[in-house]
Structure formats: structure tokens, C-alpha cells
A = this chain, B = another copy of it.
């Protein structure tokens, strides 16, 4: 049996996955996780490995991923890693790109290339508590996408509008999502 791929996705596996979810909607419930430890100053490190999805604990990763947050000297670090707001841009770029590939494939559109440039405006008076009227987070994020595909401009514009509404990270940024911070009580 040969594998049929479009845009690098196995279309048979994609169709089977969607069918399985349609039969049992609870399989679509996922829990993703990260653990993080402060190293010192503006440096901290995350470990990412397990998650729950499709009704079971995933065991596909034998080793954890680790990522280091840092800050540039201007923000009291030594560039030990990209900083957290930059990692958010990376997450957004990746999610919009993968969502584009997924739904292009579902529509039978073959993608030749995608490159994106993201920029996000932020006023650090919010973080530093210097002005309560300034938003603490990004004011806006702009993502310029250069996409080549075997379809016309109108189809691409329609695809990207759909992707904006169906990318999990884009949606997490665009909509208000509650973040609960619980302090672990110590004896």
C-alpha cells in the first residue's frame, strides 16, 4: 500500500484521524504541559515531554524537549535564549503555518512555500507598572505571510481568513483565555 501525501501530510492518516474524532468527540480533548525552573536572573528553562490526547497519555517522546528563556542586556540578561514574548511569536508563526498546511490539504491545495515575518508592539511601561493605561501585553501582532500554492489569490485569501479563525495559538491570543496561577502551599 502506497502512502499518499499532500504538503507532507499523509492524507489517509488525516482522513482516518478526522473520522475517528467524528465517531468519538471526546478523543479531541487534549492537555498539553510544560515544566519550568528558574535558573537565575532573567533565565529559566522549560521541559516539555508528555501530553494527554486521543483518550490516552502520549508516550511517543523518549526524551524531553528543553528550551531556555533569556533576555538581552537591555532587559537585564545576557541573551541566554530568546525572551518569552519572542517565543510567543514563534508559537504563533508555527501554529498559523501548520493550520494553513492542514486546511490547504483538506481543500486539495498544494502549497509550494510559506514564509512569515511577525512583529509585535509592546510598551514596557505596562510590565514595569509605570502607566496603568498602557496594555501590559502585545498591543497588536502583525504577521506577513508569503505563500505560494497551486491556486488563485481569492482561494488563498479565503484559506487565510479561515486559518485566522482556526489556529489554536492565534485564537488563544485573539480571544481572552483565563490563566490561573496557583501557589503551591508549603508545610
Contact = CB atoms under 8 A, between A and B. Distances in A.
Contact of A122 (B32, B58, B127, B142): B32
Interface string A87-130: 11111111111110111000000010111111111111111111
A135 to B, nearest CB: 7
A46 B82 CA distance: 11
Given A32-B86, A74-B60, A174-B176, A115 B38 contact: yes
A97 B127 CA distance: 13
**How many copies altogether?**
2
Interface string A26-41: 0011111111111011
A184 to B, nearest CB: 4
Contact of A79 (B60, B81, B180): B60
A178 B9 contact: no
A88 B169 CA distance: 7
B38 A61 contact: no
A88 to B, nearest CB: 4
28 contacts: A5-B41, A7-B41, A8-B43, A28-B134, A31-B119, A35-B93, A44-B98, A46-B89, A48-B90, A58-B72, A60-B73, A61-B79, A65-B81, A65-B86, A88-B92, A127-B168, A129-B166, A135-B177, A136-B168, A138-B177, A142-B180, A143-B181, A145-B181, A146-B184, A146-B186, A172-B173, A174-B177, A174-B179
